[in-house]
């Protein structure tokens, strides 16, 4: 009788341990799957690190630095569109293009195509300006949903100072 009882208890203990470890493994497994899904569906984003919104900058050379997440920057030359990759368009005093079926080239203001995380605008005049950056596909169309950021800055200094300097040193 005691041997049978011990066997029963032993079986119960093993059974419980197996159930418990199975539950833990399952929970762990589903947690991993959730993380992987989150990574795969994480939205591409771009933020302007510098200058900050409302900043005063010095007229002349104004460098815009950005941070890009969940997006791979690739040279746009001749590549077909691919999910999660593309390049940047930097804008100066331009309305950010939003037409999903047209290259994101503004009708007014400056724009530059780039795969770099910073761009320096030259000869920025004194006064108020807006600086934008947008994530675009390899064919230059905007990412949909749109991904861009704009900061407004005030450039201080002599508006013609840089031009004069350039003329003197030329």
Tell me the chain's radius of gyration from C-alpha atoms.
28
Extended strands (E) in the chain: 45-50, 56-58, 60-69, 72-73, 85-92, 110-114, 118-124, 127-136, 148-156
Q: How far is the CB of 104 from Cu ion (least distance, A)?
A: 7
- Which candidate, 125, 141, 167, 124, places its Cα nearest to that of 89? 141
Binding of Cu ion by 113 (CB under 5 A):
yes
Q: Is the Cβ of residue 53 or residue 75 nearer to Cu ion in the bound state?
A: 75
Contact indicator for 57, 155 with CB cutoff of 8 Å = yes
Burial of 41 (0-12, 13-18, 19+ CB in 10 A): exposed
Q: How far is the CB of 72 from Cu ion (least distance, A)?
A: 15
81 binds Cu ion (CB under 5 A): no
Q: Does 93 bind Cu ion (CB under 5 A)?
A: no
Residue 75 CB, nearest approach to Cu ion (Å): 10
Of 7-15, 117-125, 137-145, 149-157: span binding Cu ion (CB under 5 A) = 137-145
- Residue 54: count other Cβ atoms within 10 Å of its Cβ: 9
User: Among the candidate windows 6-14, 34-42, 116-124, 130-138, which touches Cu ion by CB under 5 A?
Assistant: 130-138
Looking at the Cβ atoms of 60 and 142, the one nearer to Cu ion is 142
Q: Judged by CB under 5 A, does residue 44 bind Cu ion?
A: no
Residues lying near Cu ion in the complex (CB under 5 A) are found at: 113, 136, 140
């Amino acid at each position: 009788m005691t041997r049978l009882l011990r066997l029963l208890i032993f079986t119960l203990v093993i059974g419980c341990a197996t159930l418990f470890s199975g539950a833990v493994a399952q929970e762990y497994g589903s947690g991993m799957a959730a993380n992987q899904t989150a990574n795969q569906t994480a939205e591409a984003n771009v933020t302007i690190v510098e200058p900050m919104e409302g900043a005063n900058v010095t007229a002349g050379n104004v460098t815009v630095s950005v941070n890009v997440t969940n997006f791979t920057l690739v040279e746009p030359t001749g590549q077909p569109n691919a999910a999660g990759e593309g390049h940047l368009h930097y804008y100066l005093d331009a309305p950010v293009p939003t037409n999903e079926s047209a290259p994101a080239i503004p009708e007014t203001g400056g724009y530059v195509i780039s795969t770099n995380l910073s761009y320096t605008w030259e000869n920025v005049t004194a006064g108020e300006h807006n600086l934008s950056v947008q994530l675009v596909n390899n064919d230059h169309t905007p990412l949909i949903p749109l991904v861009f950021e704009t900061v407004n800055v005030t450039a201080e200094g002599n508006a013609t100072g840089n031009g004069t300097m350039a003329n003197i040193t030329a």
